Amino acid sequence: MYTYEYPRPMLTADCVVINAMAEVLLIRRGNEPFRGCWALPGGFMEMDETIERCAVRELQEETGIVAGEERLRMVGVFSRPGRDPRGRTVTVAYRIDVEGEVDAHGGDDAAEARWFPLTALPPLAFDHAEVIAAATTAS
């Protein structure tokens, strides 16, 4: 095993899932930080997976929605220091467009999953308002 003198940031993936009615899928966080707040589905990458696999795994775990990696469109990388109170965290955000009625439910560490109009978002955890803005202006 290698040992480095440099600190290693945590890597996450977040999913901006948008339906045909211009709604975005959010989860209510079940854990700290921001417990009870709305956020994008996502989470930490495991050591044996790609960041794309992390995105689809977290989406399925937290909302029940199954999406293949081919549906992911990268929105960007969000790396501002302080964006996550747990420590230095970098996220790769992906947009996924879905058609029709898509049922979602909270699972894993998400207490709830719900669709919100893009024009009437609740206050969001982390920098997720910025991530959603980037995902909707890039389309």
Task: State the pTM of this model.
Answer: 0.94
**Alpha helices (H) along 5-67:** 51-63
Omega before 9 cis (within 30°)?
no
The tens digit of pLDDT for each residue in 15-36 reads: 999 999 999 999 999 999 999 9
Tell me the catalytic residues. 112
In the predicted model, what is the mean pLDDT of the chain?
95
Whether the pLDDT of residue 14 is over 80: the answer is yes
Beta strands in 1-131 (DSSP E): 10-18, 23-29, 38-39, 42-44, 73-78, 89-97, 110-117
pLDDT confidence band for 138 (50 / 70 / 90): low
Q: How would residue 139 be classed by pLDDT, with cut points 50, 70 and 90?
A: low
Residue 129 pLDDT > 70, yes or no? yes
Q: How many CB atoms lie within 10 A of CB 127?
A: 19
Nearest CA to 113 out of 33, 28, 43, 40 is that of: 28
Tell me the percentage of the chain whose pLDDT exceeds 70. Answer: 97
